[in-house]
Amino acid sequence: MNISVLGAGAWGTAVAIALTAKNNVLLWGRNATAMQHMASTRDNATYLPGHPLPATLDITADFERAVRHASGAQDLLVIATSVSGLRPTLVACQPFAPHNVIWLCKGFEENTQLLPHQIAKELLGDNINTGALLGPSFAQEVAKGMPCALTIASHSQDLCRLVVQALHVNAMRVYSSDDLVGVEVGGAVKNILAIATGVADGMGLGLNARAALMTRGLAEISRLGVALGGKAETLMGLTGVGDLILTCTGDLSRNRKVGLALAQGKTLATIVQELGHVAEGVRCAQAVRGLAAKLGVDMPITNAVAGVLFDGISATDMIGRLLSRDAKQETL
């Protein structure tokens, strides 16, 4: 199968490495100098250092070549940009009319509050098979070939079969779902909750507090997912509770690192400078807070995180506000 991965960050590179086990894969990045260096050194020194790129992995900065490589009926175009980069990438792909497109990003578009599949529908319509490939996964472990389970969510059974055929190999397991809303909401909101648990851990509040935040956070994810038309049971799976556990507890999580830094009193600007990029949970928090308010969905942890990120509330005050909430019956 011909597959092109658009986006040579850590996750795009890791997925490209995994896909070469049984496919003809091309990895595209916009920086021509960086892509030439990757091709010659067989290493993504900027985003995924120390993980050799297979000799069979083709590397290019030629966008048209990359999209045309994966434009056949049995080919697969994989978009590995951030949510903010999804719209312009899809627009750039339109002239080449690819048959099968999936994305790896997790979040809501900041200004429109749209999920990735809603952006894709707006730009590509219903004539192209589209879907989201998400789940609990760190790029470094996927690049090493360590065990991993993902979910492909799509309304097209043909696309689900195609993705399973391409990725279900060696230590990687791929499951399918038709609940795009549930899968994408789980993947998006867990990043916000990872910031919250990072704050709690950074303040030394203990494992009990972490468990409470994650559990009540899962309730927030479920409420929003159902309000948007998703299935509650989807949030109990890989892209819900599975991704939540990984991102809230794993030391490789960028969003958890944001929370740990906030607990130290660092500003968001300082944190972004130290990380070298904005973690998706930061962008997502503002969009989800606005969407929840519009839908009347109660999301106190999300609101607290957004308050720290954007309203000048301290991490200490955030925890205080959450702990001072009135007792109520436990419900989803």
**pLDDT for residue 309 is more than 70:** yes
Where are the domains positioned within the chain?
Answer: 2-178, 181-323
**pLDDT for residue 332 is more than 60:** no
CA distance 219 to 232: 10
Report the 3 state secondary structure along 249-290: HCCCCHHHHHHHHHHCCCCHHHHHHHHCCCCHHHHHHHHHHH
- Per-residue model confidence (pLDDT) at position 158: 96
Mean pLDDT of 299-325: 89
CA distance 76 to 101: 6
Six token digits for residue 262: 């906030």
Does 181-323 match 2-178 at the fold level? no
What confidence tens digit (pLDDT) does each residue in 121-174 have? 999 998 899 999 999 999 999 999 999 999 999 999 999 999 999 988 778 999
What one-letter code names the amino acid at 310? F
- Per-residue model confidence (pLDDT) at position 47: 94
**pLDDT for residue 22 is more than 80:** yes
**pLDDT for residue 322 is more than 90:** no
Identify which of 166, 157, 168 has the alpha carbon closest to the alpha carbon of residue 3: 166
181-323: CATH superfamily: N-(1-d-carboxylethyl)-l-norvaline Dehydrogenase; domain 2 (1.10.1040.10)
Identify which of 49, 6, 193 has the alpha carbon closest to the alpha carbon of residue 38: 49
CB atoms near residue 244 (< 10 Å): 25
2-178: CATH superfamily: NAD(P)-binding Rossmann-like Domain (3.40.50.720)
**pLDDT for residue 17 is more than 90:** yes
- Per-residue model confidence (pLDDT) at position 278: 72
Q: What is the CA radius of gyration of the chain?
A: 19
- Per-residue model confidence (pLDDT) at position 183: 98
Residues with active-site annotation: 190
- H or E element, residue 92: helix 83-93
In 3-state terms, the chain is what percent helix, strand and coil (to 5)? 55, 10, 35
**pLDDT for residue 108 is more than 90:** yes
The dihedral formed by the CA atoms of 1, 159, 59 and 93, expressed in degrees to the nearest 10 = 130
What is the largest distance, in Å, between two alpha-carbon atoms of the chain?
60
CA distance 286 to 28: 30
pTM of the model: 0.94
- Per-residue model confidence (pLDDT) at position 200: 95
